[in-house]
Structure 1
Amino acid sequence: MCKKWKLSAIVLSTALLFCSCAVQSNDGEERETTVNKTEEKVDKEKIRLDALNPTAYGNVEGLNLEPGTYFSLLGKAASGDYWDNVQEGAQQAVDDINEALGYKGDDKVRMVYSGPSENGNVDEQVNILDEELARYPAAVAISIIDSQSCDVQFDLAAENGIPVVTFDSGSNYQNIMARISTNNTAAAEEAAVHMAEALENKGEVMVFVHDSRSITAKEREEAFVNKIKNDYPEMEVKNIYYLEDLDSLKQTMADEINGGTYAKAGEEARVNEDPETQVQAADITDDELMDYIFAKNPDVKGIYGTSGNAVMTAAEQSARLEKDVKIVGFDATEEEVQALQDGSIYGLVAQNPYGMGYAAIVASARSILDMGNEAEIDSGYVWVDADNIQEGEIAAMLY
């Protein structure tokens, strides 16, 4: 079973450091550290790797890979704070393997990270997976955008002896060797507890979900909604919006405008049956759509987002409309952290993309070597809010 990890104290006292510092790794390279307000130094990499459960996925011991072994790592996007951290963790695992085995030059184990140029583009991710399989990597690790999209490719991988592991967002495909992810149920339930705390256990909540296709999104939505429903009788999840459906919602808005049941700001509601002058969905801006959503939820006191995109959509639009709502959700990118510090966001579930990337390489290597894998690997998370964000061990998990 996945368990919420507890941060262990990895603190070294120092009297001289006052801002940020670095520690030397065994190979002489500087590794990033974080210094908190009490002038204590913490090793970011160690904290992130110690968060992994089982802990065996935070080191490369016993991974005696053949020279030139090639891993393929596929994310949901080519770049971005979150995915850059995944790539960084995976590359560190590869570097650690090469150091442990003494591989240099052409003998080095290699990893190539790739992802869609547009975050969440299913077709592009499938095409990239096809291309990677044609290169016959030793193993593939993938964060699946659509849980139903890659089964054909996974069959092909199995036929060619290429093991597949998933990270961040998985699939129910039977032959996945290991699944590395946040315990989304526990994390979403914790977000619900903090939302209730922020609203004093009463009021309406609106939910923005990053998609309707990934297992990750479904778990985060269902756990949050069920926690509110079961434990907070004076709270209600009023409406749920999927980011991918917002454009189609513009058609509903256009129909209501033309039917006289809704009017844009500064306009009067009136029936318009003239096809030549009717409002078209394509004419509605994103800001106007958000006006419509908030108008449909006038009593909402809180917004929950299942991803960084969903959280920032809520924060930016709430600020634009000067809505006093409490926002909680997932991820801890630089933009989200700034919004939290500004008071626009109440709190965040910071995942561990660095640890996911590292564990993805370890799990892939174990699959290649027939060492066996745990079916589920918990990458860990922490709750971040204004009260704890300055703590070194919390700050180490931000990205």
Structure 2
Amino acid sequence: MKKKSIISFIGILLFAILIGFLSKSFAEEKPKVVFVLKDLNSQYWEIVKAGAEKGFRDFALDGRVVAPIIGTAEEQSELLQGILKENPDVLVVSPTYAPIIMPILDEFVEQHIPVLLLDTDNSWEHKIAYIGTDNFDLGRKAGSLLASQLQPGDDVAVIGGDVKSPVSGERIEGARLSLNAVQINIATEKVNLANEATPIKDATKEILEEHPNIKGIIATNDVIALQVVKVLEEHGLSIPVTGADGIIEMIELIEDEKIPGTVAQNPFDMGYLSAETALKVSRSERVESTIDSGVDIIIKGNAKQRLNFYKSLLN
């Protein structure tokens, strides 16, 4: 009996050691994935981060999310230089300014580190995949939503950022296509604006002075859209304004019935899908070159659900 007890004890001990060894091995085998975002100072990017971190947990990734403090391309480039030395299994990046960022991404490729582009696409030949919004489709849906609240022959305005960027430019082109199709006139375009209150407010005031019969405004992002709404309120005007990101403040305007609706990216899905894609790439699995995170139309009927979801993420 004593001999059997000793044998049983040794068996249990060896089994425990084996389990511990396997657990350690699996932990060590977690793919190392680093996300480099444009910033973490805005609600939009906080939601992207929340999606990525949910993906890290669900897909057993050794992942982390970083971003420049100020948000400049130079700062992002320095971050990437440091991450290159860490030799991650996969890099996920949203490039701030392609001419500065793409050369450092070439260095990742030279070290055989696969690179995924998040949120902002680029024609860079070495990307494994782009995960994000089809910005032309977003603009097309924004134009259709605005047109549904107007009449043929009405005048609208477009206000946005750098028209040469693959984000703003494609959104404007998509909106123009939808509006032209139903004979809504784009009376003016105020573009190449920084995401700062003063230039946006000044541009909006110019639109109202130069085109007093304007019936609606399309903004290429929500930072711009929110400032446009403020100017309209100051002038006692209530006309539809569509944004692009679907952040909490825009959804609250819909809930309060200050605007009828907007279109929205899915930043949480963007982060989550990027983590899932990073896992597949780390396993050398084939992935699609473009992974569309979708565009939603937000109106009074579904605004509350989206609002509660985002608030739960950020609390």
Q: Normalised by the size of structure 2, how large is the TM-score? A: 0.81
* Mapped pair 1:238 → 2:188: yes
- 1:24 is matched with none
Q: Structure 1 pair 177/381, CA: closer, same or farther in 2 (3 Å)?
A: same
- 2:208 is matched with 294
* Mapped pair 1:328 → 2:290: no
The 8 Å contact of residues 91 and 358 in structure 1, kept in 2 or not, is answered as yes
Once residues 268 and 143 of structure 2 are traced to their aligned partners in structure 1, the CA distance between those partners, rounded to angstroms, is 25
The 8 Å contact of residues 209 and 307 in structure 1, kept in 2 or not, is answered as yes
- Within 5 A, what are the aligned runs for 1:47-58? none
Once residues 156 and 185 of structure 2 are traced to their aligned partners in structure 1, the CA distance between those partners, rounded to angstroms, is 7
- 2:59 is matched with 97
5+ unaligned residues in a row in structure 2: which ranges?
1-25
Once residues 144 and 154 of structure 2 are traced to their aligned partners in structure 1, the CA distance between those partners, rounded to angstroms, is 13
- 2:41 is matched with 79
Name the stretch that deviates more: 324-333 or 341-350.
341-350
Q: By how many angstroms is 1:312 displaced?
A: 0.9
Number of corresponding residues: 286
Once residues 132 and 254 of structure 2 are traced to their aligned partners in structure 1, the CA distance between those partners, rounded to angstroms, is 24
* Mapped pair 1:176 → 2:127: yes
The 8 Å contact of residues 73 and 113 in structure 1, kept in 2 or not, is answered as yes
Q: By how many angstroms is 1:292 displaced?
A: 3.4
Q: Structure 1 pair 147/202, CA: closer, same or farther in 2 (3 Å)?
A: farther
- Within 5 A, what are the aligned runs for 1:342-357? 342-357=256-271
- 1:339 is matched with 253
Once residues 182 and 124 of structure 1 are traced to their aligned partners in structure 2, the CA distance between those partners, rounded to angstroms, is 25
Whose RCO is larger (CA < 8 A, sep 6+)?
A: 1
Q: Structure 1 pair 288/357, CA: closer, same or farther in 2 (3 Å)?
A: closer
> What is the SS of the residue equivalent to 2:41?
coil
The 8 Å contact of residues 92 and 358 in structure 1, kept in 2 or not, is answered as yes
Q: Structure 1 pair 358/286, CA: closer, same or farther in 2 (3 Å)?
A: closer
Once residues 223 and 286 of structure 1 are traced to their aligned partners in structure 2, the CA distance between those partners, rounded to angstroms, is 22
Q: Normalised by the size of structure 1, how large is the TM-score? A: 0.65
C-alpha offsets along residues 54-98 of structure 1, whole Å, 9 cap, x if unaligned?
xxxxxxxxxx99625321101221232221121111111111233
Q: By how many angstroms is 1:159 displaced?
A: 0.4
- Within 5 A, what are the aligned runs for 1:371-390? 371-390=285-304
Q: Paired residue for 1:128, among 67, 73, 79?
A: 79
Once residues 84 and 95 of structure 1 are traced to their aligned partners in structure 2, the CA distance between those partners, rounded to angstroms, is 17
Sequence identity (%):
22
Structure 2: which amino acid aligns with 1:327? V
Q: Structure 1 pair 155/381, CA: closer, same or farther in 2 (3 Å)?
A: same
For the aligned residue pairs, the C-alpha RMSD in angstroms reads 2.6
> What is the SS of the residue equivalent to 1:78?
coil
Q: By how many angstroms is 1:237 displaced?
A: 4.2
C-alpha offsets along residues 8-59 of structure 1, whole Å, 9 cap, x if unaligned?
xxxxxxxxxxxxxxxxxxxxxxxxxxxxxxxxxxxxxxxxxxxxxxxxxxxx
Q: Paired residue for 1:112, among 49, 61, 64?
A: 64
The 8 Å contact of residues 331 and 351 in structure 1, kept in 2 or not, is answered as yes
Q: Structure 1 pair 386/130, CA: closer, same or farther in 2 (3 Å)?
A: same
Once residues 285 and 384 of structure 1 are traced to their aligned partners in structure 2, the CA distance between those partners, rounded to angstroms, is 27
- Within 5 A, what are the aligned runs for 1:1-399? 67-98=29-60, 109-118=61-70, 121-212=72-163, 214-229=165-180, 231-244=181-194, 287=201, 290-390=204-304, 392=305
> What is the SS of the residue equivalent to 1:300?
coil
Once residues 322 and 335 of structure 1 are traced to their aligned partners in structure 2, the CA distance between those partners, rounded to angstroms, is 20
Write 1 or 2 for the structure with the bigger share of helix: 2
The 8 Å contact of residues 242 and 262 in structure 2, kept in 1 or not, is answered as yes
Q: By how many angstroms is 1:174 displaced?
A: 0.6
Q: By how many angstroms is 1:387 displaced?
A: 3.7
Q: By how many angstroms is 1:124 displaced?
A: 2.4
5+ unaligned residues in a row in structure 1: which ranges?
1-63, 99-108, 248-283
Structure with greater Cα Rg: 2
